[in-house]
Homo-oligomer: A and B are copies of this chain.
Amino acid sequence: MKNISIIGSTGSIGTQTLDIINNDRDGFRVTSLAAGSNVKLMEEQVRRFSPLFVSMQSEEAASDLKVRIADTGTEVRCGAEGLDSVAADPKSDMLVTGIVGMQGIKPTMTAIREKKTIALANKETMVAAGSVITALARECGVKILPVDSEHSAIFQSLEGQSRKNVDKIILTASGGIFRGRSREELMNVTASEALKNPNWVMGKKVTIDSATLVNKGLEVMEASWLFGVSHRDIEVVVHPQSILHSAVLYTDGAIIGQMGLPDMHIPISYALYYPERMPVMGEKPDLAVLGSLTFEKPDTEVFRGLPLAMQAADAGGTMPAVFNAANEEAVSMFLNGKVGLLNIYDIIGYAMEKHRVVDDPDIDDIFEAEREARENAASWSAA
């Protein structure tokens, strides 16, 4: 029996994690949950999984939930403190970090200090604070298991292999919904056009990041920290079918890769059961039915997310946090109709240009860089 805490339990990763747990009630116990504002779904989760305590982002949401679940034994907490107490939950063995954005950094650090295994789905944690997080995990002897499908695939492709034989990592990308489009064609796309993603059901932020390839840039930086490989030894290959989830090229010319249907339950389940694998009852991939897997180089002229990310990773220090924070601001400006899709790159570039890198940053330097990047991003104008 594994005891599990989840931060971001009402989001995409959180709900899929609870799907898996729901199918194996003898294997897992949910000890605590944290979410943003979705009180209704949290009520359902409390009634189904009976965690010891839960936390909501705002006091209002927490008060509302308290009334709704007054008949249960589950305690309600709130705010950053509540979130942190879920991460520190003394009853849990593993923290699933399913929240989006840099708010995941502090609870992840808390959970590492408390020696919990981390099932990491919050890529911003590694992008912005990779040096701090990996050093802390090493110090505390804590395992970080990736939940992202790409990073799970890389992790699986490295199992049983010697790291010194790794030549490079091959990170696959669906190419996003605008693959093949020119810059001109992307000038006037709207948020609703950008929010249709072909292969994966994802949150809005991630869908835009996927369309701009900023997502792949973040994943390159995440993979670099997770697997101890230079970002320059990670090659992005566009693979629209999203079947080869990623791979590793070894020095002898062999590529080991992990394939599967595009279903986040698989990498989540892999992290939850690691090192075992849980049989799925659903459909299994059949290569003869899939028919064809195609691969192409990413168009980095149009989709500047990738070269900008490489530039941020080259600069190092606090720059990846700036890249990430400026992108978060820019995406929310795009979703609110304030800027165009391609302006996202301009905004990231502007914030990076304004930033003076702090080398070997501590966590306060990172948050300060983040704050400054958001400010600069917000002040960007097309003029």
A251 within 8 A of B: yes
Is A336 located at the chain interface by the 8 A CB criterion? no
Complex CA gap A192/B356 in Å reads: 70
Q: Is A228 an interface residue (CB 8 A)?
A: no
Contacts of A160 in B (CB 8 A): 159-161
Q: Does A53 contact B (CB under 8 A)?
A: no
A254 contacts B278, CB within 8 Å?
no
A239 within 8 A of B: yes
A283 (CB) vs chain B CBs: closest residue = B253
Distance in Å: Cβ of A145 to nearest Cβ of chain B: 14
In the bound assembly, the distance between CA atoms of A250 and B282 in angstroms comes to: 13
- Give every chain B residue within 8 A of A266 (Cβ-Cβ): 252-254
How close is A213's CB to chain B, nearest CB, in angstroms?
15
Contact mask A239-272 → B, CB, 8 Å, 1/0?
1000010010111111111111101001001100
A157 interface hit (Cβ, 8 Å): yes
Known contacts A162-B275, A165-B277, A249-B285; is-contact A254 B156 (Cβ 8 Å): yes
**Cα distance A290–B257 in the bound complex, in angstroms:** 15
In the assembled complex, the Cα of A167 lies from the Cα of B292 at a distance in Å of: 22
CB-CB under 8 A from A233, the residues of chain B are none
Minimal Cβ-Cβ distance residue in B for A298: B288
Across-interface contacts of A295 in B (CB, < 8 A): 287-288, 290-293
Q: Does A135 contact B (CB under 8 A)?
A: no
Q: In the assembled complex, how far is the CB of residue A239 from the closest CB belonging to chain B, in whole angstroms?
A: 7
Number of residues from A at the complex interface, CB < 8 A: 52
Partner of A292, one of B260, B261, B270, B294: B294
Check A296 for interface membership: any CB of B closer than 8 A: yes
- Contact, CB under 8 Å: B280 / A253: yes
Least CB distance from A156 to B in Å reads 6
CB distance from A24 to the nearest CB of B (A): 12
Tell me which of A252, A282, A284, A296 has the highest count of chain B C-beta atoms within 10 A of its own C-beta. Answer: A252
Does A261 lie within 8 Å of B269, measured CB to CB?
no
Contact B284 A167 (CB under 8 A): yes
Asked whether B285 lies within 8 Å of A296 as measured between CB atoms, the reply is no
Is A237 at the interface (CB under 8 A from chain B)?
A: yes
Q: Which residues of B contact A277 (CB under 8 A)?
A: 162, 165, 250-252, 254
Given contacts A253-B284, A257-B257, A290-B295, 19 further A-B contacts (CB under 8 A): A160-B160, A160-B161, A162-B275, A167-B279, A167-B284, A237-B287, A251-B279, A251-B280, A253-B260, A253-B261, A253-B266, A253-B280, A253-B283, A254-B259, A254-B277, A292-B295, A293-B293, A293-B294, A293-B295
Smallest CB-CB A-B distances: 10 pairs: A160-B160, A159-B160, A287-B295, A252-B277, A251-B279, A255-B259, A165-B277, A288-B297, A253-B280, A293-B293
A: residues with CB less than 8 A from B are: 156-157, 159-162, 165, 167, 170, 237-239, 244, 247, 249-261, 263, 266, 269-270, 273, 275-280, 282-285, 287-288, 290-297
- 19 pairs from A and B in contact (CB 8 Å cutoff): A156-B256, A159-B160, A165-B277, A170-B287, A237-B287, A251-B277, A251-B280, A252-B266, A252-B280, A253-B263, A254-B260, A254-B266, A254-B277, A256-B256, A256-B259, A257-B258, A288-B297, A291-B296, A293-B295
